[in-house]
């Protein structure tokens, strides 16, 4: 897939899924703005990897839950690259616990980082995309937002909200050549999932028809497709990258 001449902004790109997505976009020819919240060193490493592929990369620190910081970030991307063609809303956190034990700050933190950030970043890039009458927006949700999961009421609520947001904004922006889609990963090996108990991992594996956990690169491949010209007639959709964990 040829993305030469395209500029991408990937949130939460210093590690895990975001890192894999940023590098995949660069391999396809895109220049990439690497957003991070705290891991400046890791973001710089990702940017270095992108530069090693012959593409331009700029690490940009911003809390995507803060609209003022997001606006400043997008202004910086446009100043550095001249435009934004692709937005991948990937930033996310977990604060897992059962509802009766969940603190209000745990709820707020997950909703702000995982859901409000989607609103902030999409709103910020929508205006320049509308002016250029083109754009690709991909939101990273989760199968948990569809099926639910005990101990993740905050995470599931945020991820379910992303799906509704994706469908609504796809209807709003479609007439200007902007597609908005979501990807719902299943069990993807990452730093976020490494802390799960082995019995939990075995339980998930038993439910996956492909009999393996996914990799960040599996998700990155789906992103590449959705931002490519080959997906120009796809919008408002949620693609499950879950090995068959959730079939509906």
Q: Which residues are catalytic?
A: 155
Non-local (6+) Cβ contacts of 114 within 8 A are 91, 92, 93, 155, 158, 159, 162
Q: At what angle do helices 117-132 and 67-81 cross, to 10 degrees?
A: 40
What gap in Å lies between CA 108 and CA 110, rounded to an integer? 6
Non-local (6+) Cβ contacts of 240 within 8 A are 143, 184, 186, 246
- DSSP letters of 37-69? SS-HHHHHHHHHHHHHTT--EEEEE--TT-HHH
């Amino acid at each position: 897939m040829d993305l030469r001449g395209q500029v991408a902004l990937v949130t939460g790109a210093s590690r895990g899924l975001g890192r894999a997505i940023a590098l995949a976009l660069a391999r396809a020819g895109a220049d990439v703005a690497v957003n991070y919240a705290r891991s400046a060193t890791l973001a710089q490493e990702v940017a270095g990897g992108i530069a090693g592929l012959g593409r331009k990369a700029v690490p940009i620190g911003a809390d995507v839950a803060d609209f003022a910081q997001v606006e400043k970030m997008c202004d910086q991307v446009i100043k550095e690259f001249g435009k934004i063609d692709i937005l991948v809303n990937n930033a996310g956190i977990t604060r897992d616990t059962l509802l009766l034990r969940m603190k209000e700050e745990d709820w707020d933190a997950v909703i702000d980082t995982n859901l409000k950030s989607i609103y902030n970043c999409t709103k910020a890039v929508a205006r320049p995309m509308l002016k250029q009458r083109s754009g690709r927006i991909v939101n990273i949700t989760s199968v948990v937002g569809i099926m639910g999961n005990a101990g993740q009421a905050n995470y599931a609520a945020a991820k379910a909200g992303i799906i509704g947001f994706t469908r609504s904004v796809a209807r709003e922006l479609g007439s200007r050549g902007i597609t908005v889609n979501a990807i719902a990963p299943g069990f993807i090996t990452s730093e976020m999932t490494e802390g799960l108990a082995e019995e939990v991992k075995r339980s998930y594996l038993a439910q996956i028809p492909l009999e393996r956990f996914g990799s960040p690169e599996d998700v990155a491949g789906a992103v590449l497709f959705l931002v490519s010209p080959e997906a120009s007639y796809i919008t408002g959709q949620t693609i499950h990258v879950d090995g068959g964990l959730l079939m509906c």
